[in-house]
Amino acid sequence: MKYLIVLCCFLHVFLQPAHAALEIESHREADLYTELAGAKLNKMIPILVELETLKGEQILPLFTLLMAGNLYYVKADKALVGKANEQGATSYKSVFTQEERPELGKKDVKKVRVNNKLRSHLRTAIARIQLTSTSPVVREKAVRTLLAKLDPKTIVLLADRYAIEPHREVKNAIKLALALYTATQTQQSISDRVMAIETLSTSLENQVRNTLVQLTQDTHQPIALAAQKSLTQIEQRAQRFALVDKLFFGLSLGSVLLLASIGLAITFGVMGVINMAHGEMIMLGAYTTYVVQLMMPNYIDYSLIVAIPAAFVVSGLMGILVERLVICRLHGRPLETLLATFGISLILQQLVRTVFSPLNRQVSTPSWMSGSWEINPVLSLTLNRLYILAFSLAIFFLLVMILKKTSLGLNVRAVAQNRAMAKVMGVKTHRVDALTFGLGSGIAGIAGVALSQLTNVGPNLGQAYIIDSFMVVVFGGVGNLLGTLVAAFSLGIGTKFLEPITGAVLASIIVLVFIILFIQKRPKGLFPQKGRAAE
């Protein structure tokens, strides 16, 4: 702890902020606002610096607006206003008083320009101000942001804060920042620096690692050694997390494959229809999501909850329609279903092109699915993939339940195993066929909702997944849902572990060749059907 106190005193002497000298000149302030309104991008940083010195914490609303690109100025008098978007309606409010300016329209205002350089400046400025925030979470985040730019001025702020900080987590973060600073200061004593370096060994922050890498080259032997030791500790931990990360990537890819193929596992696996239009059922689901979002633009957060049943209905009905019109006439000719469904897939693609234009459509991500769950600085799991992973498993178990526990499921299995016998026993096979195909297509539609969160929503969406889905179903064993699950996840994880070694292209080639060879070894996939149903 000693080095912290020394450091604080040391800095205070040299960098005493001139509180006394500050005298708020409101004229100057108004001038600066006007200047900001029309300033060129490369002239803006000095204005922002001056504003920060002048107004201190009070400048926060302006900075936040500018950071988010929501700061505008009125063309007539160059007054600054903030744009607010509530329930789809745009309104303008004055920056500091939050007073609404209803007279302003889109044409009366102009955006205050901002670029990466400014945003990066603003981010540290905001973090400095937020050090005194009432929320400990915000404070901790602010400290972590400041790690990237530890200049003497910031250190003073941090050191001051450290003395009065009540929250333990935040205090630890500040301690880390101060240690990081101390470790690099050559005017500090070697023992202080070594101590600081040892403190650093518990952190996984990038800045810490980068600093330590530099310190291993330090001319003072003890410092270099200490840095090396801390670094090794950090690397070991980081490597473990990297493995977890890779596993998650694999699981996530697996969940996408599972979603894409699970509907096919029903239409192809259970019914034996080589359904080339399966991809287009996924596409219809994705477009349904788009339409749902169009209809409820102000409730994007809830749109997916509406889209899931909607997509199930749209794709499911389309599936039943296709089954009734085409596939039911092709019983006993499985290979010919390939041709008919291929034709259907062409028609559906062109239909979407005609109705929605050939361009990709924009599907927004609900706020609760954006961003990532940061476990620590080296391991963060993206939320959308996490949800999709959970969702794919939920769908899978739901489907297993439907097939195992409901009368529909019983009928489906009966018809799949022995159509003639099922018919004799009074199962309405036509009805069951239509419902099965509808179920498979509906599930594909639900998959489309999930995939719309990861990839393009365009006419080619289905094409991108059709081959993969067939691979998964065949690899797992036709007619076996569990096989599909295992196949999807093992292919996903396999690909992700190969990718860093071979590159993305070679990884997919290797996986394909592996599947080909595997099928030679086990011609009916991972989990072959047994008994009479197999032939």
Q: Which is nearer to another protein, 125 or 156 (CB)?
A: 125
Which range, of 27-35, 100-108, 442-450, 503-511, touches another protein by CB under 8 A?
503-511
The DSSP string of 423-474 is HHTT--HHHHHHHHHHHHHHHHHHHHHHHTTTS-BSTTHHHHHHHHHHHHHH
Which range, of 53-61, 359-367, 409-417, 440-448, touches another protein by CB under 8 A?
359-367
Answer for which of 345, 484, 490, 529 binds another protein (CB under 8 A) is: 345
Q: Does 385 bind another protein (CB under 8 A)?
A: yes
Contact predicate 480/306, CB 8 Å: no
Reduce the secondary structure of 154-166 to three states and give it as a string: HHHHHHHHHHHCC
If residue 340 lies in a helix (H) or strand (E), which one and from where to where? Answer: helix 334-356
Answer for which of 188, 199, 288, 349 binds another protein (CB under 8 A) is: 349
Residue 11 identity:
L
Answer for which of 500, 502, 533, 534 binds another protein (CB under 8 A) is: 500
Long-range contacts of 499-506 (CB under 8 A, 24+ apart): 500/246
Q: Does 333 bind another protein (CB under 8 A)?
A: yes
Which range, of 13-21, 131-139, 328-336, 415-423, touches another protein by CB under 8 A?
328-336
Phi, psi of 76 (to 5 degrees): -70, -55
Give 488's contacts (C-beta < 8 A, 6+ positions apart). 254, 255, 257, 258, 261, 472, 476
Contact predicate 257/492, CB 8 Å: yes
Helices within 357-428 (DSSP H only): 383-405, 407-417, 419-424
Binders of another protein in range 29-58 (CB under 8 A) = 41
Question: Which residue has 């309405």 as its token pair?
Answer: 428
Residues 202-231: x where in contact with another protein by CB under 8 A, - otherwise, as a string: ----x--xx--xx-----------------
- Min separation Cβ 9 and another protein, Å: 30
For the beta carbon of residue 381, count every other beta carbon within 10 angstroms. Answer: 18
Q: Does 123 bind another protein (CB under 8 A)?
A: yes
- Min separation Cβ 101 and another protein, Å: 21
Binders of another protein in range 283-322 (CB under 8 A) = none
Q: Does 482 bind another protein (CB under 8 A)?
A: no
Question: Tokens at residue 471, please?
Answer: 């691979």
Which range, of 161-169, 389-397, 431-439, 511-519, touches another protein by CB under 8 A?
511-519
Q: Which is nearer to another protein, 61 or 528 (CB)?
A: 528
- Min separation Cβ 133 and another protein, Å: 20
Q: Which is nearer to another protein, 159 or 327 (CB)?
A: 327
DSSP state of 93: E
Binders of another protein in range 453-472 (CB under 8 A) = 453-460, 463-464, 467, 470-471
For the beta carbon of residue 16, count every other beta carbon within 10 angstroms. Answer: 10
Residues 71-110: x where in contact with another protein by CB under 8 A, - otherwise, as a string: ----------------------------------------
Residue 512, CB-side half-sphere exposure with 13 Å CA sphere: 10
